[in-house]
Amino acid sequence: MNLQQTVRTFGMDDQSWLGSEHGTQATESCTLDTSTFTPATHYPAGYFKSGIPLGQITATKKFGPYDNAAADGRQTLVGFLYAAVGAPTDNAIDVAGALFTHGKVREARLPVAVDAAGKTDVAGSIRFV
């Protein structure tokens, strides 16, 4: 994991998927396993978009994109990437992010859709509006 401080500029973060301020002050830190993300889908502009649905990989406790068909823990939705994070050029390098675990989510504004199973996983902590 690269913990060195760097400055990098990328486009504006679009957090229009947030349905309210509730939960934004209680995000949790998380480590993104970059190798589990697809560049064209999850970071086409060189950064992970905020609002990406995340699942936790059982073996490593790192986070990757939610995928109901996965068998490594990512098949359970646990939250959303709260703020955009720059993606490394080497997908073997993990990056730190913030995990949004409760509050309202504007479903139509998410960068990646969430299926019915994912919504069931977070029922009671995430409300889709």
3-state helix, strand, coil in the chain (%, to 5): 10, 25, 60
Q: Measured between alpha carbons, how far is 83 from 120 in angstroms, rounded to an integer? A: 23
pLDDT tens, N- to C-terminus, the chain (129 residues): 666 776 655 556 889 999 998 888 999 999 999 999 988 888 888 899 999 999 999 999 999 999 999 999 999 999 999 999 999 888 889 999 999 999 999 999 999 999 999 999 999 999 999
DSSP 82-128: -S-EEPPSSTTS-EEEEEE-SEEE-GGG-SS---HHHHHHTTTTEEE
Taking phi over 0 as left and psi of -120 to 50 as alpha, with beta for the rest, 95 belongs to beta
The pTM of this model reads 0.88
The total number of residues shown for the chain amounts to 129
